[in-house]
Structure 1
Amino acid sequence: MPSTTTSSLSEYSTCEISDALIKLQIANGGYMPDVKMLAPGKICSPAYTVQMAMASDTSAPKYGGGHFVDGVLKDHVVVIDAPPEAKNAVWGGLMSAGALTRGATGAVISGNARDLAEHRSLKFPVFARSHSTLGQSPFTRVSQVGVPITINPQYPASYSGSGSITPLTISPGDWMIADEDGVVCVPRNLEQQVVELVKRGRAVDDLCMKDILSGKGLAETFRDRRSPK
């Protein structure tokens, strides 16, 4: 039986995994939009999901389970969805310290983080939309933990189109892969299919790189290596 907290997906880049998910017709190749590396490190772990809400939002559920970091599961990555209008951070250095001691592998935040030097000193990988000097109180609060969360792409207020990237839903236990290129979510039931596709894709790309470095043109290389036989 495959491990529940380790995966062969860790051997591959987020770009390779997105390509495989596109072939499986997963919207946006599992890409988590607008999130970038703030504290370095690679992550390949199941998601421990957290939904945040504005403190002023009285309609959102209220979480009563103590501090959510204390419940982080070993070998999981904390994945947080914060309201897009929140300009404060929802993750800081003390949270990284607490998550690290509980065996978490990193934090991925559709929102802001702060205390960048502390995350880096702890060698705790953190990925977020951006960073802020403001802490969580009195701006935002935890609403739910261990529920599916939906990450919506951020567009400028002046943009009136529908956009090419659709919302991404992340369920507890889905695989989160994060590296210098970005963050990708792999639904747990697709793990083995994705592994098989990325293995084949890497073999083809290795041949493409060899051909291109030897002087062959890209059009010829792609025709020879990538075109269906």
Structure 2
Amino acid sequence: MTDPLVQRLRKLDACAVSDALDKLGLAGAITGLQQRSGPDQGGGRIAGRAVTMKVGPGERPPGPTVHLGCRAIESAGPDHVVVVEQRSGVEAGCWGGLLTLGAKVRGTEGVVADGPLRDVDEAIAYGFPVFARSLTSRTARGRVVELGTNVPVTIGAGPDAGGQVVVHPGDYVLADRSAVIFIAAAEIERVLQAAEDIVAKEAAMAQAIRAGTPIAEVMGGNYEHMLQKDGR
């Protein structure tokens, strides 16, 4: 059964939700994670709850050896987005073609990878949405390992390069061509309400422009003050 909060989030674009975060004084909008594949080879909004994975150099956690990404895929399904941290600086894929196929078969909404994506042509062929920091041909083998699944991950390049946020398992994710948005589960209701209010106000403004109202009049003081915390 689809999460009703995910259904509401899926109807919104990243810019509206980013504005809602600004209005509420919350972080969570991340730029620079480009959409590399999707239903039309680059289009398609995704929304869901985060299944997280951390990748980097080091030793695998104790336990049976499982290929990187398999635990995350097995934890995910409809209404989930796999969120990967690979910010080590090592050029090595943190997601690839067989993982993309596995996630698609599970019905996962998509993948957001703060790191290099491998096998992008396969993701395009599958029509599966993947957002990634960069592309590479270099394998993870011998370079990076899975350091944890469903653990907190840090996504983003920092305050001077599009922001940074810690994402926890179960947080909400929205991604489109403008940005990737992360919303803490505890904040989702008020973020959705604020974003829906913004969308309604902008729709009314668009209608006024179509009706012939001068754009300077439409985008006057009301637009400039729309994100103030007093709700104007």
Q: Is the 8 A contact 2:54 2:148 kept in 1?
A: yes
CA deviation map 1:125-178 (0-9, x unaligned):
000001011121121110011011112416xxxxxxx72754301000111101
The percent of aligned pairs where both chains have the same amino acid is 25
Alpha-carbon distance in 2 for matches of 1:164, 1:35: 11
Q: Specify whether residues 63 and 185 from structure 1 end up closer, same or farther in structure 2 by C-alpha distance, changes over 3 A only.
A: farther
Q: How does 1:134-149 map to 2 (within 5 A)?
A: 134-149=138-153
> Which residue in the other structure is 1:80 paired with?
84
Partner of 1:179: 176
CA distance in 2, matches of 1:181, 1:225: 20
Q: Choose the corresponding residue for 1:194, options 191, 194, 197.
A: 191
Q: Is the 8 A contact 1:212 1:218 kept in 2?
A: no
Q: Using the alignment, how far apart are the partners of 2:150 and 2:16 within structure 1?
A: 28
1:86 CA displacement: 1.9
> CA 1:227/1:26 → structure 2, altered by over 3 Å: closer, same or farther?
closer
Alignment of structure 1 residues 30-49 onto 2, 5 Å: 30-40=28-38, 41-49=44-52
Q: More deviation in 169-178 or 111-120?
A: 111-120
5+ residue gaps in structure 1? 155-161
Q: Following superposition of structure 1 onto structure 2, how do residues 79-118 of structure 1 map, counting pairs within 5 Å? A: 79-118=83-122
Instruction: Name the CA shift for 1:118/1:172 in 2 (closer, same or farther; >3 Å).
Output: same
Tell me the secondary structure at the aligned position of residue 91 of structure 2.
Answer: coil
Q: What TM-score do the two structures reach when normalised by structure 1?
A: 0.84
Q: Structure 1 residues 224 and 22, CA, compared in 2 at 3 Å: closer, same or farther?
A: closer
| 2:22 partner amino acid | I
**C-alpha RMSD over aligned residues:** 2.4
Q: 1:103 is paired with a residue of what secondary structure?
A: coil
Confirm or deny: 8 A CA contact 1:63 1:145 kept in the other structure: no
What TM-score results when the alignment is normalised by the length of structure 2?
0.83
CA deviation after TM superposition for structure 1 residue 224, in Å = 4.3
**How big is the shift at 1:89?**
1.6
Q: Deviations over 1:98-151 (max 9, x none)?
A: 111222111100001021221111111000001011121121110011011112
Secondary structure at the counterpart of residue 23 of structure 1: helix
State the distance in 2 between where 1:73 and 1:170 align.
16
Residue type of the alignment partner of 1:9? L
The one of 121, 128, 135 equivalent to 1:131 is 135
The counterpart of 1:208, out of the listed 175, 196, 205, is: 205
**Cα distance change of structure 1 residues 4 and 10 upon mapping to structure 2, 3 Å threshold:** closer
Aligned to 1:69: 70
How many angstroms apart in 2 are the aligned matches of 1:126 and 1:215? 40
Kindly state the Cα deviation for residue 36 of structure 1 after the two structures are TM-superposed: 0.9
Does the 8 A contact of 1:86 with 1:111 survive in 2?
no
- Cα distance change, pair 99–220 in 1 and its aligned pair in 2 (3 A): closer
Question: C-alpha offsets along residues 76-100 of structure 1, whole Å, 9 cap, x if unaligned?
Answer: 1110000241212211111101111
SS in 2 for 1:167: strand
Question: What SS does structure 1 have at the residue aligned with 2:121?
Answer: helix
